[in-house]
Amino acid sequence: MSNRHKILIANRGEIAMRIMCACRELGHDFVCLYTPEDKYSGHVELARELGGEQSVYKISNYLDANEIFSVADQANATAIHPGYGFFAEDFRFARRVVRRDRPMIFIGPSWWIIRDLGDKINTKRIARSLGVPTIPGSDRPIYDEMEAESIATHLFEFQRAQDIRGGMVLVKASAGGGGMGIEEVQDPDQFRSVFRRVRNYAKRNFNDEGVLIEQRIFDFNHLEVQIVSEHGGKRHVHFGTRNCSVQSTGKQKRIEVAPGFAPAEVPYAFDADRVLDEITRHSLAMAEEVGYDNVGTWEWIVTPRGEPFLMEVNTRIQVENGISAAISRVGEQEHVDLVREQIRLGLGDTLGYDQSDVRFSGISIEYRLVAEAPERDFAPCSGRILRFQWQEAPWLKMYTQVPKNGAYEIPMEYDPNLALVIIWGENLQQARERGVAFLDSLILEGEASGHGFSSNVAFLKARTQGLLEF
Amino acid sequence: MDREKRLLALRNRLAYVEDVFGPDGNDSIRVLKARAAEFLERLPHFPQADVEREFRRIEELLDFSEKKLEKELTPMDRVRIVRHPQRICLKDILENVYDNYSEIGGQGEYNIDPSVLIARAIISRRVGRRVVNQPVLVIGHEKGHGEEFRNGGSAKPWGNAKALHYMKVAETENIPIHTYVFTPGSYPVEDYPGAAQQIARNLYEMSALRVPVVAVFSEGGSGGAEAVALADRRIMLSHGYYSVISPEGAAAIEGRLRNGQRADSALVERCARQLAITAQDNVANGYVDRVVQEPPLGARPDHFEFFKTLRREILQATNEVVSSVKSMKLFRAMALSSRTHRKAALDPESIYVRWDLSNAARDRLLCKRYQRFRDMSHHAYRDNRTFMDKIRSGLEPLCWSLHSFVSYGLARGMRKRVRDLAEEVSAEAFLISERVVRPARKALSRFSGPDQPRAELGKRAKEALTRLSCPEEGACINGDSWVWMSGRAREDRAVSCPNARTHGCPDLWAPDLFSEFAGVCPCCGHHFSMEYEWYFYNVFNYAEAQEFNADIESGNPLEYEGFDAKIEQARKRTGRKSSCVTFETSLDGVQVVVASLIAPFRGGTVGAAEGEKFILAAERAQKKHYPFIAYVHGTAGIRIQEGVNGVIQMPRCTLAVRRYIDAGGLYLVIYDTNSYAGPVASFLGCSPYQFAIRSSNIGFAGPGVISETTGMPVPPNYHKAYQALSRGHVHGIWDRREIRKNLYQVLLTVGGRNLYYR
């Protein structure tokens, strides 16, 4: 049977489990990988249950491409699903998958799209060329001091003209990442010295003197648009927006809500419907223009004045895909699964519906249950889970790699994520109430050395009240 | 008593013959030995009257056999003669050739390098009724008849530095220099300043040393010899040798021996013969001017007649050099030159030429020195340029010179003056506008209020901040942008980084590594070696370059056995005719001349053809006022199969480069992969701007040679570019992905005053 594929899952935990289930539903085989630390993880258990012992392979590291390819050859896999994290946004990996002597299918966008949209500066340039709004400032690395100064002067002038008090300019190393080499300037007279400092820092650390200069934006909301595109890049639909503004100190998302704003229940200082409409429209147009060909997320920031700016594009399935699915209905289908859609489209199937078939209803909240201590700067906590129980409900979906019975050792090598909780309500009020009810009924006990076991349940509960308020 | 002395002398001569020809010797030695043994046995029993007769007989026999053996000497025998502890050494020469001397720069063991000896010497002679004393500086290697601390005349880098220092002293004092080469080769250590760097410095300075230099060769081993032998006259002792490498070394390379295995003597003998190392060969090739005849089986300290000859030859040579550049000479020059043609009775001792030079004469001296070396070794390469090409290459330099003179000399001066004036005027104007116009405008605006509404201002700023900047203003990612891609980028395989153990680098996929990463490990920055085409196309813009002199071909000047086939093979493999590729190209709008040594052709070794091409490129750059870039993709040294034809390229190219630099050019050297030996120790190592690409190796001798000669283990990373950087040999280490950027930066910022774009 030619269209029965064997998909190698180059990932772990909750997403691996969801990919396996989707494979089963679509009638494909799968290969599951695990490292010695993940021996007791739920995804290995599920793989044994669904695919038997021959579908499980042990490797030393999820990031060793050579080992993954040797397993793929051994198991005769025909496609690779990278999940999220690890190799999901590595265009070299994607390119290698399709360019090997024994090519496979990479379930995700084409490698050149990952490459072009994976680079923030390039994304900004593409966006500007299409008239998509981006953060005011430079759209390429600046090497020349005079040029940098003229941009900064313009920025200060611009903010003054807009009556933004305490306007600031961000100077950041274009080759940097993860917050390294970023400085703020408030006083135009200090700009030159800060610019030189950042440039020297960049030269020393990244061996590239290029510097970006942008407006510093305060108190913004973080919104996303879920795009699903057909293989070949011809047809595109969106699955609504999400709001991911509740984050830990390390800018890790903790609560996500779909859709992005709820103007029916919460008052906003700007026209929220217009903003949502604008960002979906721009995202779709850009996907159309670059020929995007799988699932992806357009990330936006919205200022308190209601101006959206495109920040970056995530060329992969995201953790929070479940809430977009929960508020969407496609045609007669009761249940949408974006992971399943991704695999289906990645293997070359057609979309089969268009935007008018996608309908939205209700509000969905996702909690990320993490073994961490919010009061200690979200320090991760490692130890054992002793009890993990909750009340099942029709409006609730749990994705977890913690085995249902018995203890679970949180691996120290990976993020201490425990579960994704997806709650659906008809409106924001109901969704919040259900969320609080769920968190109250949750039984989570564990033991850990040092500061003892802790989780972010209290943090999630406290932040549920102000959801979607700007 | 007399009898005892004669007996001792006899025994010494016998032992010497035995030493030179080895214990198994040939027939005549066996006969001689038997006769001598018989004589010694019977000596006490001779009647007193016969003793004298018998002595004379045996001495005559010895004389006869020595002369006979002399006629049959093989090149390897000469090597053994030269290396014999009884061979004359520099001290003997100082005692016997010069009339007075004092050693400077150390004494015996208490010396920065006892293997290099420096002395101020006096030559006194009677001219008419006057006695004139002419001072000279004597520099040479001292073997000290086998004294341990002399290191066999193998100079350490600091010994060569000492020699250079006193050469400069001689230049200040305006006295001629006599150098004596008694070295098997330089001592291959890389401690500061490093053998290669120091020899390169010596050559560089000697190529513009403004006093006459006369060199005498007895044992001339490659780079060590060149460090003191770039001279206006080169004299060779008849039993000496002058070679690119010791015959044993050549045999080890020829027989592919490793780890100190000894080559068998037949192979050594064959190599010695093929390398054309004897005095006669070198005179025939034109690398040495005269041969000084030694007594049979080589000069030893008691051959006083020989020292007289040597003194005559040295005087003669110095006189010739000086009088060839002096303006006031007339009859003396005639007398000197006539003597060189027929054996006239006129003794050079009686012709007095003052040895100090005027400034004009010094300039002429340098010109002559350059021309002398320029004219050498033209027979050693194959010039396959067509007749028209040759004519063109003769005429073109004239056109370039004329063009440069007109456009950079005449017109440029004018243009520059106008530009300077314009700059001054505009600076003045700026000051006036700051002081006068601006306050006036400010005052005006106070009356009329702000000239533009703020919203308008904000809109303009917003426009500037959110529009797409022009693509030519900056680069954005454009994927696989390398023009030339390595064949290895098409193989589906993983490559392990050699630093994986220490840096934990993940394995790399060959197509990524050799295309997009440019052969650089993204984790630790290790540079895998890349093909020379990669640099040609991606750095030097080879697609638009104009290659020249491609038809000067490497040949086999010494008819070295089996070498023709090897050259042919190298040609087939690379499609090039020598390991030096010279072309003219434009780097981001700057015209440059590039000469590169490419490793796939015989390891990038330098022979006569490569040297000639290099010199032609330097001359072209000089005439056109272009920067001159030497890109060394890899070089294993001088091509040993060409013998002295190769070694002579060291001074030749250095002279050309020196001339180019002195003319105000920019000479830039970039090393890649492995660069060793001769070229690094001469025309490459003398550049004031040398850069290495990361993970490259630079040194004087490979690790195997070092451990064999010095007997010490080679420290790890001994030849790494970073070591060369820390001892000041190279002046920067470049990342391969940024060569082009750095190169442009360097072209704009460093180098001479006479570049066309300055």
Q: Please check whether residue B78 is in contact with residue B237, taking contact to mean a CB–CB distance below 8 angstroms.
A: no
Phi, psi (deg, nearest 5) at residue B390: -65, -40
Q: Which of A370, A388, A380 is nearest to A450 (CA)?
A: A380
Phi-psi region of A108 (alpha: psi -120 to 50; beta: other; left: phi over 0): left
Beta carbons of A154 and B467 less than 8 Å apart: no
| A148: closest chain B residue by CA | B465
Beta carbons of B479 and A115 less than 8 Å apart: yes
Q: Which chain A residues touch B455 with a CB distance below 8 Å?
A: 161
Beta carbons of A157 and B457 less than 8 Å apart: yes
Helix-, strand-, coil-residue percentages of chain B, each rounded to 5 = 50, 15, 30
Q: Which of B218, B228, B221, B279 is nearest to B250 (CA)?
A: B221
Is the model more confident about B96 or about B715?
A: B96
Cα distance between the two ends of chain B: 81
Give yes or no for residue B465 having a pLDDT over 90.
no
When pLDDT is cut at 50, 70 and 90, the band that residue B751 belongs to is confident
Q: What is the pLDDT of residue B476?
A: 42
In this complex, the residue of B458, B466, B492 whose CB is nearest that of residue A162 is: B458
CB atoms within 10 A of CB A11: 23
Q: How many CB pairs under 8 A join A and B?
A: 76
Joined together, the tokens standing for residue A68 give: 């993954």
| Residue A61 CB burial class (10 angstroms; 0-12, 13-18, ≥19) | middle
Q: Give alpha helix (H) positions in B433-471.
A: 438-448, 454-466
Q: Which chain B residues touch A92 with a CB distance below 8 Å?
A: 509, 512, 516
Give yes or no for residue B609 having a pLDDT over 80.
yes
Which of the residue ranges A18-22, A251-255, B349-353, B690-694 would you say has the lowest mean pLDDT?
Answer: B349-353
What is the rounded distance in angstroms from the CA atom of residue B506 to the CA atom of residue A378? 31
What are the sequence ranges of the domains in chain A? 6-107, 136-215, 221-464
| Sign of the C-alpha dihedral computed for residues B166, B168, B171 and B177 taken in this order | positive
Q: What is the pLDDT of residue B290?
A: 92
What secondary structure does DSSP assign to A200-245, as a single string?
HHHHHHHS---EEEEE---S-EEEEEEEEE-TTS--EEEEEEEEEE
What is the rounded distance in angstroms from the CA atom of residue B106 to the CA atom of residue B161? 14
Q: Which of A90, A129, A114 is nearest to A286 (CA)?
A: A129
Nearest CA of chain B to the CA of A440: how many Å? 46
CB-side neighbour CA atoms (13 Å) of B216: 29
Q: Please check whether residue A319 is in contact with residue A84, taking contact to mean a CB–CB distance below 8 angstroms.
A: yes
Q: What is the pLDDT of residue B25?
A: 66
Helix, strand or coil, per DSSP, at residue B617: helix
Phi, psi (deg, nearest 5) at residue B711: 75, 15
Q: What is the pLDDT of residue A2?
A: 55
Q: What is the pLDDT of residue A233?
A: 87
Beta carbons of B461 and A115 less than 8 Å apart: no
Q: Which of A158-162, B53-57, B314-318 has the highest mean pLDDT?
A: B314-318
Buried b (16+ CB within 10 A) or exposed e, B606-623: bbbbbbbbbbbbbbbbbb
Q: DSSP character for A146?
A: H
Give yes or no for residue B418 having a pLDDT over 50.
yes
Angle, CA of A168, A172 and A176, to the nearest 5°? 155
Give yes or no for residue B455 having a pLDDT over 70.
no
| B506: closest chain A residue by CA | A64
Nearest CA of chain A to the CA of B750: how many Å? 21
Partners of B103 in beta bridges: B119
Rounded mean pLDDT, B52-79: 88
Helix H, strand E, coil C: the string for B537-581 is: HHCCCHHHCEECCCCEEECCCCCCCCHHHHHHHHHHHHCCCCCEE
Beta strands in B51-115 (DSSP E): 100-104, 106-107, 110-111
Q: Which chain A residues touch B461 with a CB distance below 8 Å?
A: 154-155, 157-158, 161
Q: Please check whether residue A346 is in contact with residue A315, taking contact to mean a CB–CB distance below 8 angstroms.
A: no
Q: Please check whether residue B81 is in contact with residue B240, taking contact to mean a CB–CB distance below 8 angstroms.
A: no
| Residue B10 CB burial class (10 angstroms; 0-12, 13-18, ≥19) | middle
Q: What is the pLDDT of residue B24?
A: 65
Buried b (16+ CB within 10 A) or exposed e, B300-312: bbebeebbebbbe
Identify the residue whose tokens are 């060959």: B510
When pLDDT is cut at 50, 70 and 90, the band that residue B471 belongs to is low
Longest dimension (CA), chain B: 138
Cβ within 8 Å of residue B475, ≥6 positions away: A140
Q: Which of A219, A152, A243 is nearest to A431 (CA)?
A: A243
CB atoms within 10 A of CB B719: 21
- CATH superfamily name and code, A136-215: ATP-grasp fold, A domain (3.30.1490.20)
What is the rounded distance in angstroms from the CA atom of residue B522 to the CA atom of residue A175? 14
From the candidate CATH numbers 3.40.50.720, 3.40.50.300, 3.30.470.20, 1.10.10.10, the one assigned to the domain spanning A221-464 = 3.30.470.20
Buried b (16+ CB within 10 A) or exposed e, B500-509: beeeebbbbb
Residue B193: is the preceding peptide bond cis (ω within 30°)?
yes
Joined together, the tokens standing for residue B71 give: 């006629």
Q: Please check whether residue B275 is in contact with residue B250, taking contact to mean a CB–CB distance below 8 angstroms.
A: yes
Nearest CA of chain A to the CA of B717: how many Å? 24
Joined together, the tokens standing for residue B354 give: 């003052």
What secondary structure does DSSP assign to A311-366, as a single string?
EEEE-S--TTHHHHHHTEEETTBS---HHHHHHHHHTT------GGGEEE-SEEEE
- Residue ranges of chain B whose CB lies within 8 Å of a chain A CB: 454-455, 457-459, 461-462, 464-469, 473-477, 479, 492, 494, 506-507, 509, 511-512, 516, 735, 738
The H or E element spanning position B595 is strand B590-597
Q: Please check whether residue B223 is in contact with residue B260, taking contact to mean a CB–CB distance below 8 angstroms.
A: no
How far is C-alpha B599 from the chain's CA centre? 19
The residue among B466, B491, B739 with the most chain A CBs within 10 A of its CB, best to mutate, is: B466
In this complex, the residue of B464, B476, B509 whose CB is nearest that of residue A140 is: B476
Give yes or no for residue B684 having a pLDDT over 90.
yes
Q: What is the pLDDT of residue B330?
A: 67
The H or E element spanning position A409 is strand A408-409
When pLDDT is cut at 50, 70 and 90, the band that residue B452 belongs to is low
Joined together, the tokens standing for residue B372 give: 């002398």
Phi-psi region of B576 (alpha: psi -120 to 50; beta: other; left: phi over 0): beta
Nearest CA of chain A to the CA of B464: how many Å? 8
Q: Please check whether residue A14 is in contact with residue A88, taking contact to mean a CB–CB distance below 8 angstroms.
A: no
A316 in catalytic set: yes
What secondary structure does DSSP assign to A115-137, as a single string?
HHHHSHHHHHHHHHHTT--B-SB
Amino acid found at A450: G
What is the rounded distance in angstroms from the CA atom of residue A327 to the CA atom of residue B353? 109
Joined together, the tokens standing for residue A429 give: 């009020």
**Residue B185 to residues A352, B197, B465, B535, B705, Cα–Cα distance (Å):** 82, 15, 67, 34, 12
When pLDDT is cut at 50, 70 and 90, the band that residue B336 belongs to is low
Provide the percentage of residues in chain B whose pLDDT is more than 70.
94
Phi, psi (deg, nearest 5) at residue B593: -105, 130
pLDDT per residue, tens digit, chain A (470 aa), is 457 899 999 999 889 999 999 999 999 999 999 999 888 888 999 999 998 899 999 999 899 999 999 999 999 999 999 999 899 999 999 999 999 999 999 999 999 999 989 888 889 989 998 999 999 999 888 888 888 998 998 888 888 888 777 788 889 888 877 678 888 998 888 999 999 999 999 888 887 888 999 999 888 999 999 999 998 888 999 999 999 999 888 788 999 998 999 999 999 999 999 999 999 999 999 999 999 999 999 999 999 889 999 999 999 999 999 999 999 999 877 778 999 999 999 999 998 898 999 999 999 999 999 999 888 888 888 888 888 888 889 999 999 888 776 678 888 888 888 899 999 999 999 999 999 999 999 988 888 878 888 889 999 999 998 888 87
Q: Per the residue annotation, which of A316, A344, A368, A434 is the catalytic one?
A: A316
Partners of B11 in beta bridges: none
Give yes or no for residue B32 having a pLDDT over 80.
yes
**Class assignment of domain A6-107?**
alpha beta
| Sign of the C-alpha dihedral computed for residues B454, B455, B459 and B460 taken in this order | negative
Q: What confidence tens digit (pLDDT) does each residue in B389-415 have?
A: 889 988 999 999 999 888 888 887 788
Q: Which chain B residues touch A59 with a CB distance below 8 Å?
A: none
Is the model more confident about B660 or about B38?
A: B660
Q: Which of B285, B195, B185 is nearest to B245 (CA)?
A: B185
Rounded mean pLDDT, B577-596: 94
Cβ within 8 Å of residue B443, ≥6 positions away: none
